[in-house]
Each structure stands twice: as C-alpha cells, then as structure tokens.
Amino acid sequence: MNKDQSDRIKAVSSATIGLEIISQEKNKLELLDLSSADEESLLKAEKQIFWRLLHMLDTILDKKTTDLEIKLIDYEINKLTFFIQRNLATKFSSNPKNFLLYEKVSVLESLGDSLRSLKIYSRDIDEKFIKKIYNILDLLKSDNLENNNLIAIKSEMFHLRKLSEQKQNKKENDSLAYILIYKNLKQIFDITFTINIRKIIA
C-alpha cells in the first residue's frame, strides 16, 4: 500500500462515524467498524441530520457566512447519513420501513448538497424561500406527524413550488438549485407521509 492509498483510506475513516484505524504497518492498514446501532440510535442520528440542515439554513441567511462554514455543516450531514446507511444496508431487504428510512436519509443528504450549491452559486439568495424550507423541515423532523402538521407542510410545499417555478421562469443562473431543493423536499415529504401511513395501518 503506497502513501496515496493510505492517505485516502485515512480520509474515508475520518469522514465516517464508527470506522476506526486500529493498526498500521508498512503495506497494511487495518480498519474496525464500530458503528453497529439499534433503531433508537439511528432515529437520533436522523434527527441530528434535521438539526444540522436547520443550522445550515440559519447559516445561509447570515451574510457573513463563508463557504467553508457551509461545507463543514454539509460534511457533518454526510457523516451521519453514511452512518445510518451502513447500519440499514443489511436490514432493509426484509423490512420495508428500513428501506424507506434509507431512502429518506439519502434525500436529506442530497438536500444538504443542494443548499450548499445554492449558497455557493447564488448572488442574491431568496430569504422567503429559505424560511419556507426551514418551516417544512422543522415540521418534518417530528417523530409522529399529526394531520394538522401534514396539512401545514402541504401548504408550505405549495408555496415553495410556486417560488421555485418563478425562479425557473426567470431563467436565472441559480434557478436549478431552487428546483432541486424543492424536489428534494417533495421526496422527503412523500417518504415521511408513506412511513406515517404505514404506522397508522400497522
């Protein structure tokens, strides 16, 4: 194993929750996966993704924020996402709920990427749009969504779609980021709605 390969493995390890280097020799590097977690821990990790996304939105609205600050928040979201995915990867084949949770955190991670792109490429971020996203995520992070919450989210989603369409019609440079963000949130809402319907039926 050359130095470049060793450095790449170390970078992956530092970016991954629970993946630790336990020994290193000249041509060998041994890793141990300590990330096995129960359902409660995975739900807590998912909740942390929501909190980090909300923090990212607050940071985006702060005009003094640097791209590096957004990158670091996105980095934390990625770590939490990969931690959940690794734990669910061997379980979701026999459990539809786990498959939905896997998909949900994947889209949450994509949302973080889309928000980061918006911050980098947009010269004038639409604060109204960002606040709508915040409201939606704040409602979606609830463990058990009630009908009133679902109705509120649907209303916010409707207004968010209208705002993204306005951006698309203007054909501005950052319009794609707005559209991607709306689509990410729509997917998250659909998956969350499906999970909650399954709870009611079960």
The CA distance from 9 to 187, in Å, is 33
Domain count across the chain: 2
Q: Looking at the structure, do residues 22 and 75 belong to the same domain, yes or no?
A: no
The CA distance from 2 to 165, in Å, is 50
> Residue 3 to residues 14, 99, 174: CA-CA distances in angstroms?
16, 38, 40
Q: Looking at the structure, do residues 26 and 100 belong to the same domain, yes or no?
A: no
Burial of 31 (0-12, 13-18, 19+ CB in 10 A): middle
Q: Looking at the structure, do residues 104 and 158 belong to the same domain, yes or no?
A: yes
Q: Looking at the structure, do residues 50 and 22 belong to the same domain, yes or no?
A: no
Q: Looking at the structure, do residues 170 and 95 belong to the same domain, yes or no?
A: yes
Read off the CATH number of the domain in which 86 is found. Answer: 1.20.58
Q: Looking at the structure, do residues 20 and 65 belong to the same domain, yes or no?
A: no
From first to last of the 202 residues of the chain, give the pLDDT tens digit: 555 655 555 555 555 555 544 355 666 655 445 456 677 878 888 888 999 999 999 999 887 888 889 999 998 899 889 888 888 887 665 677 788 889 999 999 999 999 998 888 887 888 999 999 999 999 998 766 677 777 888 889 999 999 888 887 766 667 888 889 999 999 999 998 888 775 545 4
Q: Looking at the structure, do residues 28 and 47 belong to the same domain, yes or no?
A: no
Q: Looking at the structure, do residues 80 and 142 belong to the same domain, yes or no?
A: yes
Burial of 3 (0-12, 13-18, 19+ CB in 10 A): exposed
Q: Looking at the structure, do residues 17 and 87 belong to the same domain, yes or no?
A: no
Domain coverage including residue 192 = 39-201
